[in-house]
């Protein structure tokens, strides 16, 4: 709800269109109060002293003794206020790092100068992001070239989008409507054109919109075809670990470490298979770096994620 002033689009406060926006704004107003209080206090004291102790009425006096209690007060009090801000801020920040388990995953690829979006059901779009209201959405993002940043002010979320890795952000949109999408990390010539629209829809309308997909194939289906095309099935399940039930499980590595098999792990294992070797297996997998596009990679990952339900008696646990 923006405070609309006069005619036109002029606003003083941004739209609030996600649950997270409330958390951020609450904290923002707390900080605004503190800022207003101390700014007025200091400015007020400066003006007050400058008038009250002006040269014409105030003679030069011997200096007052130093007051330790005063120094301690204005050291400790701001420290306490800062710690409150820190803890509150860290709690809101932690929310941004913990998407709910049932979040809808949408894949985003940034490139100079556009956003490419892929929905699990198969529909793709450019510079637009259609999402249902009332449902948590997680964006799994990467870049094909330089660093970008996916920023929707009305949701109060922002996350750099880096080449060579996945970063993610999540939000739960509340109000159907159209909101600005900006690239917020300078990315070259047409940085200011790397903008778009986040379209929040009623869930039924979103479902209808998804169904209009021209290809009709979901990411999982496309991913399964790619899985065979790239020959992944030749080894996985025999010479290499089975991928059934892999996603979101804990994988024991050759060096004794344990990692969680999330999207970043799958991505790295496909592009740089030697980075993390699963305990008990040979390093026979070739790299697929440069052989598949970011979109195809996402489709294969989405296919592997779809296998999570078929968790077998895990052969990779064997020594």
Partner 1 sequence: MNVSTQPLPVVTEPRHAPPNYLNDGYSVRSWLLTLDHKRIAILYMISITLFFFIGGAAAVLFRVHLLTPTGALFDPGTYNKLFTIHGVVMVFFFLIPSIPAVMGNFLVPLMIGAKDLAFPRLNLASWYVYMAGGTLTGYAAIAGGIDTGWTFYTPYSTMFSNTNVIAAATGVFITGFSSILTGLNFIATIHKMRAPGLTWFRLPLFIWAMYATSVIMVLGTPVLAMTVSLLGIERIFHVGIFDPALGGDPLLFQHLFWFYSHPAVYIMILPSMGVVSEIIPCFARKRPFGYKFIAMASVAIAMLGFFVWGHHMFVSGQSMYGGVVFSFLSFFVAIPSAVKVFNWTATLHKGSISLQTPMLYALGFIGLFTFGGLTGLFLACLGVDIHVTGTYFIVAHFHYIMVGGAVMGYLGAIHFWWPKMTGRVYSEFWGRISAAIIFVGFNLTFFPQFILGYLGMPRRYYAYPPEFQVLNVMSTAGASILGLGFLLPLIYLLWSLKYGKRAGPNYWKATGLEWTTQSPPETENFETTPEVVSEPYAYEFMELGNAD
Residue 93 and residue 298: Cα distance in Å, rounded? 27
Nearer to partner 1, 45 or 211 (CB): 45
Is 27 or 210 the residue whose CB approaches partner 1 more closely?
A: 27
- Least Å distance, CB 60 to partner 1, is 4
User: How far lies 300's CA from each of 20, 115, 213, 232, 303, in Å?
Assistant: 31, 20, 19, 10, 5
Q: Which stretch binds partner 1 (CB under 8 A): 99-107, 163-171, 211-219, 280-288?
A: 163-171
Contact criterion met (CB below 8 Å) for 36 and 26: no
**Applying CB under 8 A, which part among 8-16, 210-218, 241-249, 301-309 lies near partner 1?**
8-16
Q: Does 158 help bind partner 1 (rule: CB under 8 A)? A: yes
42 binds partner 1 (CB under 8 A): yes
64 binds partner 1 (CB under 8 A): yes
Q: How far is the CB of 311 from partner 1 (least distance, A)?
A: 28
Smaller CB separation from partner 1, 82 or 211: 82
The verdict on 23 binding partner 1 (CB under 8 A) reads: yes
Kindly state the smallest distance separating residue 53's Cβ from partner 1, in Å: 5
**Under the criterion CB under 8 A, does residue 14 sit at the interface with partner 1?**
yes
Tokens of 25: 């704004």
Return the SS3 of 267: helix
Q: Which stretch binds partner 1 (CB under 8 A): 114-122, 131-139, 140-148, 302-310?
A: 140-148
Q: Which of residues 171-230 bind partner 1 (CB under 8 A)?
A: 180, 182-193
Q: Does 43 bind partner 1 (CB under 8 A)?
A: yes
For the packed helices 19-52 and 68-97, what is the interaxial angle rounded to 10 degrees? 160
Question: Please, what's the b/e burial string for 144-176 (b: 16 or more CB within 10 A of its CB; e: otherwise)?
Answer: bebebbbbbbbbbbebbbbeeebbbbbbbbbeb
Residue 50 in the binding site for partner 1 (CB under 8 A): yes
Query: Which of 24, 28, 29, 21 is CA-nearest to residue 174?
Result: 21
The total of other beta-carbon atoms located within 10 Å of residue 298's CB is 26
147 contacts partner 1 (rule: CB under 8 A):
yes
3-state class (DSSP) for residue 236: strand
Residues near 262 by beta carbon (within 8 Å), at least 6 away in sequence: 247, 248
Query: Which of residues 22, 46, 203, 257 is near partner 1 by CB under 8 A?
Result: 46
Q: Looking only at residues 75 through 114 of this chain, which bind partner 1 when binding is defined by CB under 8 A?
A: 75, 78-79, 82-83, 85-86, 88-97, 112
94 and 133 Cβ atoms separated by less than 8 Å: no
């Amino acid at each position: 709800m923006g405070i609309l002033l006069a005619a036109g689009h002029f606003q003083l406060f941004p739209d609030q269109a996600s649950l997270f926006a409330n958390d951020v704004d609450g904290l923002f107003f707390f900080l605004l109060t503190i800022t207003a209080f101390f700014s007025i206090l200091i400015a007020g004291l400066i003006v007050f002293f400058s008038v009250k102790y002006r040269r014409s009425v105030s003679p030069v006096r011997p200096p007052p003794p130093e007051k330790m209690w005063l120094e301690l007060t204005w050291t400790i009090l701001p420290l306490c206020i800062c710690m409150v801000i820190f803890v509150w801020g860290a709690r809101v920040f932690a929310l941004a790092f913990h998407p709910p388990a049932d979040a809808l995953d949408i894949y985003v690829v940034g490139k100079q100068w556009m956003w490419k979006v892929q929905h699990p059901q198969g529909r793709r779009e450019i510079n637009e992001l259609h999402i249902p209201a009332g449902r948590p959405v997680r964006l799994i993002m990467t870049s094909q070239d330089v660093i970008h940043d996916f920023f929707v002010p009305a949701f109060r979320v922002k996350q750099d989008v880096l080449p060579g890795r996945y970063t993610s952000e999540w939000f739960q949109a509340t109000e159907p409507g159209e909101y600005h999408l900006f690239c917020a990390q300078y990315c070259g010539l047409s940085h200011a054109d790397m903008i778009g629209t986040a379209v929040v829809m009623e869930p039924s309308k979103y479902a209808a919109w998804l169904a209009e997909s021209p290809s009709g194939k979901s990411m999982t289906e496309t991913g399964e075809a790619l899985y065979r095309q790239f020959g992944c099935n030749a080894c996985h399940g025999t010479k290499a670990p089975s991928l059934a039930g892999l996603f979101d499980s804990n994988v024991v590595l050759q060096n004794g470490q344990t990692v969680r098999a999330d999207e970043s792990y799958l991505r790295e294992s496909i592009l740089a298979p030697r980075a993390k070797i699963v305990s008990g297996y040979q390093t026979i997998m070739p790299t697929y770096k440069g052989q598949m596009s970011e979109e195809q990679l996402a489709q294969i990952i989405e296919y592997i994620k779809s296998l999570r339900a078929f968790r077998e008696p895990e052969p990779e646990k064997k020594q």
